[in-house]
């Protein structure tokens, strides 16, 4: 979805009118304002899928963040299903990232578009609710690690029909988080 600057102003003025007049409709003015102010207009067709908007591709960052959140959903679920013995093995085999792996977010200074997109997906679109209430700012570069993990996860995802990731799959994905130059030979 694209709006000109003038259209954005008109839409924002209409949302103010909706609120001032107490109009209750299917369109949520707060959501529309948030989508405009946060530059997430791609989210309007997601929220209102019943409206026949002109077809357009989501920005690449949206697809990447959705893939990363999906991967971390699988990781966290699989970890929750492990036995204590398996958790100890994972902590050792995927050190330092195998102990209680949790999605920490993105670097707020250098990966703010990814962080903002993740926050919008979770908090405004109510997707990936398992991440609700998290800060999404890990305060250090993370996107390269997420991308390496995704490269290991993508072939595995195609084989996941029922049940969580195996311990071996989980180990393989989490090991990719470490930069290759820091791995032991």
Asked if 118 contacts 72 with a C-beta cutoff of 8 angstroms, the reply is no
Per residue in 115-171, pLDDT (tens digit) is 999 999 999 999 999 999 999 999 999 999 999 999 999 999 988 877 799 999 999
- Percent of the chain with pLDDT strictly greater than 70: 99
* CATH code at position 123: 1.10.3190.10
Report which DSSP code applies to 58.
Answer: P
What pTM value is reported for the model? 0.92
Say if residue 82 is in the same domain as residue 156: yes
The answer to whether residue 131 sits within a structural domain is yes
Question: Into how many domains does the chain fold?
Answer: 2
Average pLDDT estimate for 31-47: 96
Say if residue 98 is in the same domain as residue 13: no
Sequence-separated contacts (24+) of 110-115 with Cβ below 8 Å: 110/141, 111/141, 111/142, 111/143, 113/61, 114/61, 114/64, 114/65, 114/68, 114/143
* Average pLDDT score, the chain: 94
The answer to whether residue 54 sits within a structural domain is no
């Amino acid at each position: 979805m694209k709006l000109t600057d003038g259209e954005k102003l008109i839409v924002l003025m209409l949302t103010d009118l909706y609120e001032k007049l107490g109009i209750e409709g299917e369109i949520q003015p707060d959501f529309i304002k948030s989508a405009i102010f946060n530059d997430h207009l791609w989210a309007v067709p997601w929220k209102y899928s019943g409206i026949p908007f002109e077809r357009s591709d989501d920005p690449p960052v949206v697809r990447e963040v959705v893939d990363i959140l999906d991967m971390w959903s699988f990781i966290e679920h699989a970890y929750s299903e492990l036995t204590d013995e398996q958790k100890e093995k994972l902590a050792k085999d995927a050190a330092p990232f195998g102990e209680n792996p949790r999605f920490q977010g993105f670097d707020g200074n250098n990966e703010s578009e990814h962080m903002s997109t993740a926050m919008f997906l979770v908090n405004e679109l109510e997707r990936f609710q398992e991440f609700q209430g998290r800060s999404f700012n890990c305060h250090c570069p993370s996107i390269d690690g997420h991308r390496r993990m995704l490269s290991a996860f993508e072939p595995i995802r195609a084989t996941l029909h029922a049940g969580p990731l195996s311990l071996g799959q989980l180990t393989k994905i989490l090991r990719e988080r470490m930069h290759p130059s820091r791995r032991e030979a």
